[in-house]
Every structure is written in structure tokens, then in C-alpha cells.
Structure 1
Amino acid sequence: MSRAFAQDPLFLHLFGNSQLDQRAKNKVTAFVSFMFDKSFFCNEEVWGIFENESLLGTYLIEKPQLNKLQNIKGVFFAIMYSILWSTRISGKTLNLLNSYMRITRSAAPSLTHHYLVMIGVKPEAQGKGLGTAMLLHLLNMVNEDDTSQGVALDTENKENIKLYRRFGFTLSRETQVNHVPVYCMFYQKD
């Protein structure tokens, strides 16, 4: 799935061009792997579309209202994995990721909500409606969840704003993280 994020502005800024540089490719792959591991360990929602046992597209979403045990497990996992993962990335990159998380999470509304961590489709499967199918699945799940008031997300691709608006998201904040533009959006249930 790391190829789905190869041209993402934040990934390019943090890791370099993974299509041209093997070290950057390894870092992107390690980061995406970390995000999947974290999602499974913290009982977050991971959903994907497969064809012939090949993952074509996926999203990772944090659910609202984790119980205390899940929070403790999540913190423990994040600390342990961050220590292991920090050998693969620089302290500067780790600080930028922490800044990104702090800034984007502060842009989310105080309402109880889901948080779309990542959504991506492999390049060879793009343009076939898989992203739309994943967003519709996500919104259906959120609309059926009585504990959630909506979905927050952030994107660094300005052209994604138009796509997310078609699904009912509104732009809540424009900001920057180390000169990378970030667009924070929210879908509020009716």
C-alpha cells in the first residue's frame, strides 16, 4: 500500500521521493506498516478492497470512545513501537510527525467522532471507483454509529478538498506543518 502514498505531499516532505529513492521507499513502507500495526493493536477500523487476494485500497480509522484498557494498550504500543521505529527515521521526522498530529487533531471539533487516519488506492487501481466505494462504506458505518457525530480528516492535497466536499465534508481549517499545506475537514452527521 505504500505506493498509494508515494506522491502524497506530506510523505514526500517527510521521507523523500519513494519512487526514485530506495531509502525513501523503505521509510514509507515502514511508516505504512507501522500505521497498520497500530490500527490492529489499538482496535481501530481497517477496511480494504481486494482483488485476487491483492489489497487494492484501504482506509484506517480511529473509532470514538475507546475504553481505558484500549487507551492504555494504545499508549504502550505507541511508545514501544516508536522506540523501535525511531531507528528507521530521524528525530527531525519524528518531531514533524508529532507536530502534524498535534496541529491536525486540534483542528478537529470537540464532538465525539471518528478520525480518518489514512485512505489510499494503489496507483494501478485508481480511477475505478474504489476510493468512492471506501468513502461510502466509511460514511455508512459512521452514520449507523450512535456514539459518533461524524468524521474528521486531513489532507495535504488541495485537489482532494473538492472530492471530500462531494461526500458532505466541510473545510474546517487550513494550516501548515513545516511549510506543507494541510486542509482539515469534517463530516457532521445530520
Structure 2
Amino acid sequence: MSASQAAESAEVCLLDSSYGPEAASLLFRAYRNDPTFRWLMDASRPGYDHRLRTTLRELLRNHIAEHRPALGLVQNDRLIGIALVAPPERRLEVTESWGWRLRMLLGAGRRATRRYLEFHEAVMACVPTGPHHLLPLLGVLPDYQGRGYGERLLAALHDWCAQDSQSHGIVLDTGNQQYLEFYRRNGYREIGEVAVGPVREHVFFHPNPQPLAGVSG
């Protein structure tokens, strides 16, 4: 079986609330070498892994608590990719939660919390007006990257978001240079850029993705 055939055979599903621990582990592996998070969590100081785990866990915890959807990519009963989705309807932003801030201060520290809050505010300032789907976190396990699994997850995500006729499109961001062409190739255009220390965070928008295939739930 070719890499593209293997990616096509992976199942995409809407995850239930039990996905937390497995998703937290996946996101840590997917984002550990991400330049944006390395600066936000200050990888130059001891304790980087702990600060990153705390941040991803708390972002995920808040996502689940707000009953926001997550799409999972599964192969051979293993979760290999995930996309957290913030639908257009207004709900409590993670940075507006005092509980989240307190847990971040205790787990990740004051500097990392402040950096993340400033980063989040700057990215959100680039988001166009109107109803949109936002992708706060999107990751594929490192061993499966570059083999078509990212495209498989993104296509299914577009199918799922396209079912909401009120949404104007999808917004996501990345500071990883190797992903820029990937998003452009999949129909995204850049709508903003944010300085994250030495990193340039690119904010992308995909207008009104159209459904291509069903997603199992």
C-alpha cells in the first residue's frame, strides 16, 4: 500500500469527551519542536517540556469543558491526528477564563502565561469580522507527517465545517515555515502576520470550504 493509499484508509471521526489524555500526548509530540511554542514556553530554560505539557493540557481541558468539537484521525485504532475546532457561535475564550489563567500560572509560570496571552490577543486581532471556524490546535504525530495524513485530516475538516452554512470560512495560524506551502496548497491565503519573539506567526484564512466526503461520527 502506498503512502497516499494508507492516508486515505485512515478514519476521520468526531471525538467524544474521553479523548483527552490520548490527545494531550499527541499534541505534545506534534508541537514539541514548533518554533512558536518553543518561544512562548521559553525552550532555552529548564522545564520546557513541563510548561508545554501544561499549556497544551489546559487548552485541551478548556476546549472539552466548552463542549467544542474535535476531529480525530485514526489508523489501526490509534489516534494519529487531531483538529480542535472552535465553531462560529460565541463562547468563553480560553484567555477569559480565570480558572485557566490560575492553572497556567501554577503550572507553566508567569512568563509563559503572559507570553501566551499576548500571542493569543495578537492572533485574534487578525481574524476578520463575521462568523468563522477557528482552529486553535491541529496536529499529526511526527511519524505520520509528510505522508498525506495532514491533507486527509484537513480535507475532512473542510467537509465538516462546510456543513455550517452560516460560517464564512476557516482561520488558523502557524509559525512553522515548513507548513506555509502546505496551507497555501490547500486553499488558504495569508491575512495577517504576528511577531512572536523571533518567530513570524502567519494567520491564514480559507473561505467557505465545500464538502467533498462524509465524516463518520
Q: TM-score range by the shorter chain?
A: 0.7 to 0.9
State the distance in 2 between where 1:36 and 1:105 align.
18
Length-normalised TM-score, structure 2: 0.76
Match of 1:109 in 2: 128
Match of 1:30 in 2: 54
What is the CA deviation profile of residues 132-177 of structure 1, one whole-angstrom value per residue up to 9, with x for unaligned ones?
A: 1111111111222112110111110123221111111101112212
> Which residue of 27, 32, 37 corresponds with 1:11?
37
How many residues align structurally?
A: 183
RMSD between aligned alpha carbons? Answer: 2.3
Length-normalised TM-score, structure 1: 0.86
State the distance in 2 between where 1:136 and 1:8 align.
23
Q: Secondary structure at the match of 1:153?
A: strand
Q: Aligned pair 1:159/2:147, yes or no?
A: no
Q: Secondary structure at the match of 1:111?
A: coil
Q: Secondary structure at the match of 1:87?
A: helix
What is the CA deviation profile of residues 3-27 of structure 1, one whole-angstrom value per residue up to 9, with x for unaligned ones?
A: 1111101111122449xx8722122
What is the CA deviation profile of residues 62-99 of structure 1, one whole-angstrom value per residue up to 9, with x for unaligned ones?
A: 11113xxx54xx67982113212211122121111111
State the distance in 2 between where 1:51 and 1:34 align.
26
State the distance in 1 between where 2:68 and 2:77 align.
22
Task: Calculate percent identity across the aligned residue pairs.
Answer: 23
Structure 1: runs of 5 or more not aligned:
none
> Which residue of 73, 80, 83 corresponds with 2:102?
83
Report the CA distance shift for 1:164/1:24 in structure 2 as closer, same or farther (over 3 A).
same
State the distance in 2 between where 1:151 and 1:180 align.
23
- Which residue identity lines up with residue 11 of structure 1 in the other structure? F
Match of 2:79 in 1: 55
Q: Note the C-alpha offset of 1:38.
A: 1.1
> Which residue of 185, 188, 194 corresponds with 1:169?
188
